[in-house]
Amino acid sequence: MRQYTGLDKLINSFDQALRSLVPGATSAQRGNPADHEPSQLCVSDARHVAGLMRVNHSGEVCAQALYHGQALTAKLPHVREEMQQAAIEEQDHLAWCEERLKELDSHTSLLNPIWYGLSYGMGAIAGIAGDKYSLGFVAETERQVSQHLQDHIQQLPEHDERSRKILVQMNEDELHHRDTALNAGGVDLPVPVRITMTAISKLMTKTSYYL
Instruction: Please state, in angstroms and rounded to a whole number, the distance separating the CA atoms of residues 135 and 81.
Output: 12
Q: Domain for residue 20, yes or no?
A: no
Does residue 148 have a known ligand-binding role? no
Q: Answer for the pair 15, 110: CB distance below 8 angstroms, yes or no.
A: no
Q: Domain for residue 63, yes or no?
A: yes
Alpha carbon 203 to its chain's center? 15
Percent of the chain at pLDDT above 90?
Answer: 12
Q: Answer for the pair 142, 175: CB distance below 8 angstroms, yes or no.
A: yes
Q: Domain for residue 183, yes or no?
A: yes
Q: Domain for residue 31, yes or no?
A: no
Does residue 68 have a known ligand-binding role? no
Q: Domain for residue 130, yes or no?
A: yes
Is the Cα torsion angle 23, 24, 26, 32 positive or negative in sign?
Answer: positive
Alpha carbon 145 to its chain's center? 8
Does residue 82 have a known ligand-binding role? no
pLDDT at 2: 55
Instruction: Tell me the mean pLDDT in the region 6-22.
Output: 62
pLDDT at 147: 86
Mean pLDDT lowest for which of 93-102, 142-151, 191-200? 191-200
pLDDT digits (tens, 9 = 90+) for 27-45: 777 788 877 766 778 888 8
Q: Answer for the pair 84, 67: CB distance below 8 angstroms, yes or no.
A: yes
Does residue 98 have a known ligand-binding role? no
Total count of domains within the chain:
1
Percent of the chain at pLDDT above 70?
Answer: 79
Q: Domain for residue 174, yes or no?
A: yes
pLDDT digits (tens, 9 = 90+) for 150-184: 999 999 998 888 899 999 999 988 888 888 878 87
- Sequence-ordered alpha helix ranges (H) in 74-111: 77-103
Provide the residue range defining the domain that includes 98.
42-208
pLDDT at 7: 58
Residue 99, domain CATH: 1.20.1260.10
Does residue 89 have a known ligand-binding role? no
CB contact burial 191-200 (16+ within 10 A = b; e otherwise) = eebbeebeeb
pLDDT at 54: 93
Q: Domain for residue 23, yes or no?
A: no
Q: Domain for residue 30, yes or no?
A: no
